[in-house]
Amino acid sequence: MPTGWHGLPFNVSCKMENGGGWTVLQRRTDGSTSFYQNWTAYKEGFGDSKNLWLGNEKLHYLTNQRNYKLRFDITTSSGSAKYAEYAEFQIESESNNYKMNKLGSTVDIQSHPFRGYYFNHSRGKQFSTHDRDNDGCGNFNCAEKHISGWWHSNKWCSSCRSNGCCHQFQYSSRCKSTCTAHNLNGVYNGGNGEGIFSSCKTYCNIQYVEMKILPSS
């Protein structure tokens, strides 16, 4: 029951490692749950214990009752474990399309060059789904092209890239493009999460990913 929450109490998945008390907002372990969901599904949350999205409405109320930090934990298809933590994390209300209002600097990065800091391109971005295009990219709907709801950045959405992010899409007959350097809700294709990536060209084909928040004060 976060402060100001208007609904019934809800259950969350908790992790007690790395200081304890982490609330899981996202988890991917296999391809049994599609993350190509609409606005309402991302608002309310979906999934099960293996694959889940807590829900943007819950995330808004949680991160606005006090200060929170954010942590990524990923395991690549080669079995390499990586993580990154961010000192601040806050999501605005639905009236502002669940904009990522705060994302602090990366406070801890394991095994450089885990490029968790590229997630900062999503700071200040609104959440987008295939039926609610809020990404600021005039060329296309990034959520549709990247097949996932996310705080898609429009940093590269008008540029051609001969190589780059793992999950690119065709923009014209002459080039490929991408919206963001992080897409942890991408398509879990086959056994290696081929459409999930945490940085361009570096950490792709993620078998496991978990995003979680912890009160920082």
Residue 207 domain-assigned (yes or no)? yes
Residue 179 domain-assigned (yes or no)? yes
Q: Are 83 and 74 in contact (CB under 8 A)?
A: yes
Residue 127 domain-assigned (yes or no)? yes
Residue 147 domain-assigned (yes or no)? yes
Which pLDDT score, from 0 to 100, does residue 113 have? Answer: 47
Return d(Cα 176, Cα 155) in angstroms, integer.
14
Cα within 13 Å of Cα(149), Cβ side: 27
Q: Which residues of the chain have pLDDT under 70?
A: 107-117, 162-164, 190-191, 200-201
**Residue 159 is part of which domain span?**
14-215
Which pLDDT score, from 0 to 100, does residue 180 have? Answer: 83
Total number of domains constituting the chain: 1
Which pLDDT score, from 0 to 100, does residue 211 have? Answer: 96
Q: What is the residue whose two structure tokens read 């084909």? A: 205
Please name the amino acid found at residue 195: G
Residue 162 domain-assigned (yes or no)? yes
Which pLDDT score, from 0 to 100, does residue 101 have? Answer: 94
The tokens for 178 are: 């991408």
Domain of residue 176, CATH code:
3.90.215.10
The pTM for the full model equals 0.93
| Per-residue exposure over 11-48, b if at least 16 CB sit within 10 Å of its own CB, e if not | eebebeeeeeebbbbbbbbebebebbbebebbbebbbe
Residue 2 domain-assigned (yes or no)? no
Residue 1 domain-assigned (yes or no)? no
Residue 132 domain-assigned (yes or no)? yes
Q: Name which of 188, 166, 186, 190 is nearest 176 in CA terms.
A: 166
